[in-house]
Amino acid sequence: MKKLLLTILFLVCAVLVAWQVNEVLKFKHTDGNLILEAFYSNKKPIDVLMLGSSHTYDHLNAGIMWRSEGVSAFALAAGSQRYWSSYYYLKESLKYLKPQVLIFDVGGGARYSGRHSDSTITIWSTLGLRSYIDKARSIALSVPSIDRRVSIFLGIPEYHSRYRELKEDDFPFLTSKEISSVVFGRIHTNIYKNNIQDMSSIQDMKALDEKDEEFFLKILDLAKQNDIKVLLVKSPYQLPPEHQKIYNYIDNIAKAHGVEFLNFNLSYKDVGIDPLYDFRDFSHFNVHGIKKYSMYLAKYLRENYNVPDRRNDPEYAEWDKWANDYYMLAFTPKLNTTLQEYLKLLKNYSNDVVVFTVVTDEASRQIGKISQEELSILGIDADLKGKHQYGYVSVYDTETGFDYEEISENQTIIFKDRRDKLPMGVDVKSRGGRDLNKNENTISSIKINGQEHSKNKRGLNIVIYDKKRKTVIDSFYVDTHGDPTFTIKR
């Protein structure tokens, strides 16, 4: 008996050590297990749960839905996810929350039609599940090989060789910043000229695969049992007619179950989607498409499903920050707004940045219309009013508080002192209109790691360097001499 207890104790110790090793080695996929980790760490009520594949987690951005309508939504989805995996996600999620509405993107039934998922997709959809029984079921439905099922279930055979690529990020537990980047932070900016054909003439139906239909109905039943309203959606993509026939079939089932189905392949124009501008590939939105689609659905949910606006709820203060982070990262480079609006966004931008401001020629005439408090967001504390054609340099680190400021009537300002306090190579100089050396070619300059970023236009030339991302996230100028609207120009 003693030996049996010792054996059990030994096994417990071995499992605990293996558990920790597993935590370090495991994949950190943002569209799979990290989403589940973020979900498990969330303590706030979620009104809208969103299931599906990349068309859910990539297209429905919870940050934008929050920012635009105050909808608390969570995309619990993984790339190329099959219906059965979505079902087990729903089953798992109901142990932790009771959403008011379930949005389910039904693309999986047409795009993957009952096929086994490959191992990577299965890992995305199962690795982070806490319920071992449901995890085993989901894996068994996804992968035919028994050896592979065991391997994926255990996890470590799949990723133990990651010891070669471990980084610091693999060791700590998930931080709130990481959660925000998982839940709110997918940014795809490239533009693909898509071609979505008109499918409205296709009235035929094609049945779902038997296994897909079984789990599709299970999802509807489970939602019904838990008194959750279901909104079926299909975000637009370049689809073949065969897919549309399956969506017609799904529409039929939806009607029979009294469930709404919004097939945006037929009505993407209502959302304002422009196939030539809003996609990053034939099937996925870029940030512009994501924004339109997310805002549309958030509004639709508010108007048709009575989803509350929770923006005044202090419990969600963190979401405000994350959503603004996302918005800032995703849209700032394209946002031609006023300096004042921009400064509001910058203030809410949680990443640590270094702001460089230099004056080219002249910046003083209109600057008094901007409050000193607003300018201090850029690190500008000096009073520039009346400093006609003065040179000016400001370098401000929002994290450390490092602040360098110099103003000069007729001498070139070169930022030299304490440059070693900054994490990158910096060469900054400014020449005002009265500068004695102004006939030289370069009037003002902001070089970061040897690369010039200053627009070198009249007024304030501003460059924002993100220390976490180790990159310049924005460079623009505002003509504070001649433009009373202070429009940002790039």
Partner 1 sequence: MLFNSLTFLIFFPIVTVLYFVIPRKFRYLWLLAASYYFYMSWNPKYALLILTSTFTTYLCSLMVSKASTVSKKKLYVALSLLINLTILFTFKYLNFFTDTLNQLFNMSAPTFSLILPVGISFYTFQALGYTIDVYRGEVTAERNFFKYALFVSFFPQLVAGPIERSKNLLNQVRMMESVQFNYERMRSGLLLMIWGLFLKVVLAERAAIIVNQVYNNYENYTGFYVIIATFLFAIQIYVDFSAYSLIAIGAAEVLGFNLMQNFNTPYFSRTVGEFWRRWHISLSTWFRDYLYIPLGGNRCSRWRKHLNILIVFVVSGLWHGANWTFVIWGGLNGIYQIIGAELKPIKTRIVDTFKINTESFSHKFFQIVVVFSLINLSWIFFRAPSTSVAINMITHIFAEFNIWIFVDGSIYKLGLTALELKILVLSLTALLIASLCQYNGISIRAKLAEQAIWFRWAAYITAIMILLIFGYYGPTYSPSDFIYFQF
Contacting positions for partner 1 (CB under 8 A) = 3, 6-7, 10, 13-14, 17-18, 21, 25, 119, 146-148, 150-151, 154, 156-158, 160-161, 163-164
The candidate with the shortest Cα–Cα distance to 69, out of 341, 396, 299, 339, is 299
Q: Least CB distance from residue 51 to partner 1, whole Å?
A: 27
CB 155, min distance to partner 1, A: 10
CA distance 221 to 227: 10
Torsion of CA 27, 29, 32, 36, to 10 degrees: 80
Shortest Cβ 272–partner 1 spacing (Å)? 44
Phi/psi at 101 (5° precision): -130, 140
Nearer to partner 1, 95 or 164 (CB): 164
Nearer to partner 1, 29 or 55 (CB): 29
Report in angstroms how near the CB of residue 305 gets to partner 1 at its nearest. 43
Residue with Cβ nearer partner 1 (168 or 420): 168
Write out the E strands in 308-402.
353-361, 391-397
Please say which residue, 10 or 96, places its beta carbon nearer to partner 1.
Answer: 10
Q: How far is the CB of 171 from partner 1 (least distance, A)?
A: 15
Is the Cβ of residue 156 or residue 436 nearer to partner 1 in the bound state? 156
CA angle 319, 96, 11 (to 5 degrees): 115
Looking at residue 155, the DSSP 8-state letter turns out to be: -
HSE-up of residue 259 (Cα within 13 Å, Cβ side): 28
Closer residue to partner 1 (CB): 117 or 265:
117
In the complex, the smallest distance separating the C-beta of residue 398 from partner 1, rounded to whole angstroms, is 38
Query: Is 161 or 201 the residue whose CB approaches partner 1 more closely?
Result: 161
Q: Is the Cα torsion angle 81, 84, 90, 96 positive or negative in sign?
A: negative
Read off φ and ψ for residue 361, nearest 5 degrees: 65, -75
| 3-state secondary structure (DSSP) of residue 59 | coil
Least CB distance to partner 1 at residue 157 (A)? 3
- C-alpha torsion angle, residues 351, 328, 47, 124 (rounded to 10): -70
Which of residues 156 and 317 has its CB atom nearest to partner 1 in the complex? 156
Min dist CB 117 to partner 1, Å, is: 14
* Residue from 397, 340, 403, 398 nearest 374 by CA: 340
> How far is it between the farthest Cα atoms of the chain?
93
Terminal-to-terminal C-alpha distance of the chain: 77
Closer CB to partner 1, residue 16 or residue 436?
16
DSSP string, 237-276: ----HHHHHHHHHHHHHHHHTT-EEEEHHHHHHHHT--TT
Select 87 or 153, whichever has its Cβ closest to partner 1.
153
Q: How far is the CB of 129 from partner 1 (least distance, A)?
A: 19
Distance in Å, CB of 62 to partner 1, minimum: 33
d(CA 265, CA 257): 22
Radius of gyration of the chain, Cα coordinates, nearest whole angstrom: 27
Residue whose pair of structure tokens reads 């970023």 in the numeric block: 453
